[in-house]
Amino acid sequence: MADHKVLAGAHVVLPTGTVENGRVIVEGDRIAGSAPEGAPVVDLSGHWLVPGFVDLHNHGGGGASFTSGTVDEVLKGVHTHRLHGTTTVVASFVTGDMDFLGRRAGLLSELAEQGEIAGLHFEGPFISPCRKGAHDETLLRDPDPAEVRKLIDAARGQAKMVTLATELPGGIDSVRLLAEHGVIAAIGHTDATYEQTRAAIDAGATVATHLYNAMPALGHRAPGPIAALLEDERITVELINDGTHLHPAALELAFHHAGPERVAFITDAMDAAGFGDGRYMLGPLAVEVKDSVARLVEGGSIAGSTLTLDRAFKRAATVDGLPVEAVVQAISANPARLLGMYDRVGSLEPGKDADIVVLDAEFELKGVMRKGEWIVDPLENTTA
């Protein structure tokens, strides 16, 4: 009985809907279907129990960069996001030279093999200089399939996603290569037309990297990539719901056209997430974080975010007025499916990892469990 926990009395959000006065049984590191008589009960009346958050697109936190930090610093960044409910995180790299990215991929692939991160995402260097955002233009290059393959190989099976400007020379062939190797091809930092975007989707692209940002605006004569990405049921759209990257009407438009089953909330977080304002480096570029908004020192472009997914959840459920079930889909289930991990994470079902977030009635984070162990204890509200 010592390895059982019964979390009882909460609003439990399941794939089939919300159960009032529900309970989740934890046995060891997994969710169980039943508990022995006398198993210890944690009373969470008045709270919400939702699955641990899954972040597809995250560059760091806690003062640490996934692109350039040491292994210990990367682990610090991962832990920072765990404290905010993200129990599964993909480490994203900003643009660097090919040799550097290959070395980083080899280093962080070990953390993926150990289960500390869920894999690697290359956001660059295969992106458009017209829509580079906070990427060093001197390091950008066309998506040559041979070079894309080098990065995949360097990641030793842990590459999960590559963001591409698919209109560039080699873009479509690179999408096909990624699809053949089971790596997500994401359309982003792109200057593509509507027609070019459609061609990339037909070639196998399945994700829109932070929809609306770093791509042409929606136009009535030239609809561009946004319309193509929203209308196609094969595409999951990433959204950064921090109140800075998106107007609420843009988020509503995405949910209206894509539906909750095709939205994935991400942070696109950089080092300052969970750490504070100040000067930082994003790859080789200097960033100033002021009032929690990150911008390049030169040019003022938005440079990622300082978002954590608990804040994204609360904003979606309160400011945006989305149903809690839809928020859970976007922040847990959908990204887990994209990563091929839904058999283990993304919902509160027996047999899955005991990755659980406890929220109060106002959707403030009160507890985080990962693989059956409290990282933030909801009764003591302390961190481990």
| Active site positions, annotated | 268
Phi, psi of 228, rounded to the nearest 5 degrees:
-65, -40
Q: How far is CA 206 from CA 75, 161, 175, 340, 347, in A?
A: 29, 10, 10, 13, 22
Q: Is 105 annotated as a binding residue?
A: no
369, 26 contact by CB (below 8 A): yes
207, 189 contact by CB (below 8 A): no
Q: Is 213 annotated as a binding residue?
A: yes
Q: Is 123 annotated as a binding residue?
A: yes
CA 292/CA 269 separation, integer angstroms = 11
Q: Is 344 annotated as a binding residue?
A: no
Q: Is 152 annotated as a binding residue?
A: no
Q: Is 220 annotated as a binding residue?
A: no
Place of tokens 């459609």: 198
What is residue 33's DSSP assignment? Answer: S
Structure tokens at 85: 């409910």
Place of tokens 């390091």: 139
Residues 6+ apart with CB under 8 A from 297: 279, 285, 286, 287, 288
Q: Is 303 annotated as a binding residue?
A: yes
Q: Is 134 annotated as a binding residue?
A: yes
Q: How many CA atoms lie within 13 A of 80 on its CB side?
A: 27
CA 341/CA 343 separation, integer angstroms = 5
Cβ neighbourhood burial of 368 (10 Å; 0-12, 13-18, 19+): buried
Q: How far is CA 19 from CA 16, 23, 27, 30, 325, in A?
A: 9, 8, 20, 20, 11
Q: Is 245 annotated as a binding residue?
A: yes
CA 239/CA 326 separation, integer angstroms = 14
Residues 6+ apart with CB under 8 A from 140: 95, 124, 125, 126, 127, 128, 129, 132
Point out the annotated binding site for Zn(2+): 123, 189, 210
Point out the annotated binding site: 123, 134, 189, 210, 213-214, 221, 245, 302-304
Point out the annotated binding site for substrate: 134, 213-214, 221, 245, 302-304
